[in-house]
Amino acid sequence: MQIKINEVLRSYIEPLTESEYTSLERSILAEGCRDALVLWQDVLVDGHNRYQICQQHGIPFKVIENTAFRNLEDVKLWMIDNNLGRRSISDYQRGVLALRKKEIVAARAAELVAQAAAEDAAIAPPEDGSGVKQPSMALSREDIARAARLSSATISQIEKIQKTAAPELVEAVRSGTISINAAATVASLPEADQVAAVAGGKKLLQQAAKEIREQRAASRPPKEPKEPKEASGYQGYGAPSEVDQLREENAVLREKNAALLEQITSLQKRLSELADAN
- Within a domain: residue 241? no
Question: Which one-letter DSSP state was computed for residue 32?
Answer: -
- Count structural domains, the chain: 1
User: Model confidence at 242, in pLDDT bands (50, 70, 90)?
Assistant: low
Q: State the Cα–Cα distance between residues 111 and 278, nearest whole angstrom.
A: 51
Strands, sheet with 63-65, edge to edge from the N-terminal-most edge strand = 43-46, 37-40, 63-65
How large is the C-alpha radius of gyration of the chain? 25
pLDDT at 231 over 60: no
| H or E segment and range at residue 63 | strand 63-65
What dihedral angle (degrees, nearest 10) is formed by the CA atoms of 166, 171, 174, 178? Answer: -70
For residue 198, with 0-12 CB atoms within 10 Å meaning exposed, 13-18 middle and 19 or more buried, which class applies? buried
Residue 126 has pLDDT above 90, yes or no: no
Question: Is residue 243 situated within a structural domain?
Answer: no
Identify the three-state secondary structure at position 137.
Answer: coil
Q: Assess whether pLDDT exceeds 50 at residue 235.
A: no
- For residue 101, give the H/E element and its range: helix 91-123
Give a yes or no: residue 115 inside a domain.
no
Q: Which of 71-80, 152-161, 215-224, 251-260 has the lowest average pLDDT?
A: 251-260
Q: Is residue 107 part of a domain?
A: no
Note the pLDDT tens digit of each residue in 28-66: 999 999 999 999 999 999 999 999 999 999 999 999 999
The DSSP letter of residue 4 is B
Q: Is residue 137 part of a domain?
A: no
CA dist., res. 70 & res. 264, Å (int):
40
Number of alpha carbons in the 13 Å side-chain half-sphere of residue 49: 18
What three-state secondary structure class fits 236? coil
Mean per-residue pLDDT of the chain: 82
Asked if the structure places residue 171 within a domain, the reply is no
In a domain, 63, yes or no: yes
The range of the structural domain enclosing residue 3 comes to 1-71
CA distance 73 to 185: 33
SS3 content of the chain, % helix, strand, coil (to 5): 65, 5, 35
In a domain, 256, yes or no: no
Q: What is the pLDDT of residue 125?
A: 55
Q: Over 60: is that where the pLDDT of 236 sits?
A: no
| 175 class by beta-carbon count within 10 Å (0-12 exposed, 13-18 middle, 19+ buried) | exposed
